[in-house]
Amino acid sequence: MSTETKPKGQLYKRLDRIRGIIRNQFEFLRQDRLATIGVIFVAGFVFLGLFGPALAPHDPIEHDVRNDDGQILRLAEPSGEAVLGTTAFGKDVLSQFLAGAQPTLIVGLFGGIGTGAIGFLIGLVSGYYGGWVDELLMRLTDLTFSLPFMPMALLLLTFVTPNIWLMTAIIAGFLWKMPARVVRSEVLSVRERTFVKSARASGASDLRTMLYHVAPNVLPIGFLYTAYGVAWAIAAQASLAFLGFGDPTMTSWGRMLRQVFESGNMRVAWWWVIPPAIGIAAITTSVFLIGRAYEEVINPEIQTEQ
Amino acid sequence: MSQFQRFLAKRLAISIGLTLIAVSVIFVVLRLLPGSPFEALVTSGNLNQQQINEIRALYGLDQPMWRQYIDYMTSILTFQFGYSILRSQPVWDVLEPRLVNTLILLVPALVTTAILSSAIGMYAGWNRGSLLEKGSIITTTFLRSTPVFITAIFFIIMFAYNFELVPAFGMRSVTASPEGYIDTFLSLDFLHHYILPFTVAVLYYSGDFLLLARNGIVEKRGSEFLKLHKAKGLTEMQQLARAGRNSMLPILTYFALRLGMIFQGLILLEVVFGWPGIGRELVLAIQQQDYPLVQAAVFIMALAVIIANLAADVLYAYFDPTVSTGGGSSA
């Protein structure tokens, strides 16, 4: 690791700076009450995603909840044996809820980061170079806009066994278009500013100018859209799982809702519906609330982007 | 050619190009899928080899790939979608009533929400910091970030199961056997089934319109022309109306874009409510590997988006003289 070669003081200074940035972000978010609530929910969600499967009292799929006589409890209301009741298949709802956060977190996090990163790079290159590069990349963006996301994702997921990494890739592969457009239009205005022009005039290469002078100025928007990407990815993953195109080996919140919907037990088994439904609604809304707080700061005008 | 005409021609060419590419992508994806809907027929053992060959020939599957591609392109682009494999009906006969069902649900919903939530959004933007503004922002953030099927499930549990006010599923009751569209849609039974999905669709769409309208007004509030109107002695509402008229363009173009996404946007809404629209039909067709039906449905969805994008671009360039029409994408 490079930590050995660097003088310790410099490393500490760097760490301090990072800590300062993080502290500032939290200070900022604390001022917005809605964003604070959002942060709390997201923290709880990340915790569930990391440790949920370990916390689950039973295996979400294998284990059958039984009563004292050894009979499998099906569609049992919340009770001592199963705190959140059981499913029609005699599974523990609480365990499924806890374990189900993990795929949601993985797809959300990586799908969001993928969306943000691809979109940022394409927007940056497209806006900076302009000309035929811009034309090509923007027509590619138009193409992903015109290929309907949901149907295409469903089609692709029918011919390979869906797993969460594939879903992540498909989601990022379709959603990058949003940040790409916004970042590009932002780059177009940054490119014309004096410091970029003077950097180029003083002989900096295109790559250097783009990465050191333009990119940092559009980074906040990249981050914002990464956050939105997380919410979109979570929503997309839940929707695909609800339609039966989720990872068949993992319990996810979307899949729980599919099972309760498909089995026709939605009418009676409220305890089976509410936890995953609230889980998905809470996490997507939280991410958006945090995003909103940043949006106000970064640029009041871009709030209008879809 | 005027500048606007040149812009129009370029946009049109791009749209045609996009349509061709989108259709090709669908072709490739469908070819990549392993297995075919005929395999089920073949493995069930009801067909001999000669019959299989005949069926393959019927669908053109014995032709070389480039020939299949040409045939596919010409048929799709002329709206000859062929026969649905599992329903043994022409694809268009299957899709047409589904398209109508989707439109009848979502177009009124979109129009309603565009008018209602834009008005609320403008009012909220005018009264910055008010309770209405904060409340509407929280509500719409929830509604637009939560996947639509979750909202739908909450509504079904509340209004269909708990209060038993409306049915939870379908477009007509099971016993109804209406003839033709007028008979189908002009009945109390239909209305009864309609209210819930309509409401959820209105709420789901509301967020973006509300925020667009609010932001538009917020930006206009301090501008010079409003000061003039204020000096002229116009009332608050009259000023708001002037500011609103000046922030209509983004709302209009957004409406066009949303309209284009209408067929693909709310597949999950249709599935949850058992609404016999094109989205639900597509999911069923994919599950049953009914590829002629799938490719037709996906093509219609893509085409709608391409046309709406074109319309939005043209709308914007036509009404907003500050947008450069010269370079097309050089905005």
DSSP-assigned letters across all residues of B307-324: HHHHHHHHHHHHH-TTS-
Query: Do residues B219 and A304 touch, judged by C-beta distance below 8 A?
Result: no
Would the pLDDT of A1 be above 50?
A: no
Domain ranges within chain A, ordered by starting residue = 99-300
Residues of A within 8 A of B309 (CB-CB) are: 142, 145-146
Q: Give every residue of chain B whose pLDDT is below 70, as ranges.
A: 1, 33-47, 59-61, 222, 265, 320-331
Homologous superfamily assigned to A99-300: MetI-like (1.10.3720.10)
What is the distance of C-alpha A76 from the center of its chain?
A: 33
> How is residue B167 written in tokens?
């049915």
Would the pLDDT of A25 be above 80?
A: no
Q: What is the CA radius of gyration of chain B?
A: 24
Q: Say what the pLDDT of residue B33 is.
A: 66
Burial class from Cβ neighbours inside 10 Å (0-12, 13-18, 19+) for residue A233 reads buried
Q: Which residue's structure tokens are 């050089």?
A: B330
Helices B3-32, A131-146: inter-axial angle, 10-degree rounding: 60
Cβ within 8 Å, pair A139-B17: yes
Mutation for B interface: A33, A133, A138, A146, most B CBs within 10 A: A146
DSSP bridge partners of A86: A92
Task: Name which of B17, B149, B254 is nearest A306 (Cβ-Cβ).
Answer: B254
Taking the whole predicted model, whether its pTM rises above 0.90 is answered as: no
Cβ within 8 Å, pair B150-A281: yes
Cβ within 8 Å, pair A287-B287: no
Task: Name which of A284, A289, A303 is nearest B146 (Cβ-Cβ).
Answer: A284
User: Average pLDDT in the A259-272 region?
Assistant: 80
Residues of A within 8 A of B19 (CB-CB) are: 146
* Average pLDDT of chain B to the nearest whole number: 81
pLDDT in tens, A90-107: 677 788 888 888 888 889
Q: How far apart are CA A82 and CA A90, in angstroms?
A: 10
User: Average pLDDT in the A128-152 region?
Assistant: 86
Q: Say what the pLDDT of residue B138 is.
A: 85
Q: How far apart are CA A274 and CA A276, in angstroms?
A: 6
Instruction: Mention every residue, 6+ apart, whose C-beta is less than 8 A from residue B172.
Output: B178, B184, B187, B189, B190, B193
Q: How far apart are CA B296 and CA B277, in angstroms?
A: 14
CB atoms within 10 A of CB B33: 16
Residues of A within 8 A of B156 (CB-CB) are: 266
Would the pLDDT of A70 be above 70?
A: no
Task: Name which of B147, B282, B297 is nearest A238 (Cβ-Cβ).
Answer: B147
Q: Say what the pLDDT of residue A299 is.
A: 55
Angstrom distances, CA of residue A306 to CA of A109, A163, A252, B126, B207: 21, 29, 28, 21, 10
Would the pLDDT of A306 be above 50?
A: no
Instruction: Mention every residue, 6+ apart, whose C-beta is less than 8 A from residue B73.
Output: B20, B23, B24, B27
Cβ within 8 Å, pair B14-A143: no
Least Cα separation, residue A154 to chain B (angstroms): 8
Q: Say what the pLDDT of residue A2 is.
A: 47
- Interchain contact A129–B (C-beta under 8 A): no
Q: Say what the pLDDT of residue A82 is.
A: 67
Q: How far apart are CA A106 and CA A163, in angstroms?
A: 11
Q: Which domains does chain B have, with CATH numbers?
A: 3-90 (no CATH), 92-323 (1.10.3720.10)
Cβ within 8 Å, pair B153-A277: yes
Chain A residues 61-80 with a CB less than 8 Å from chain B: none
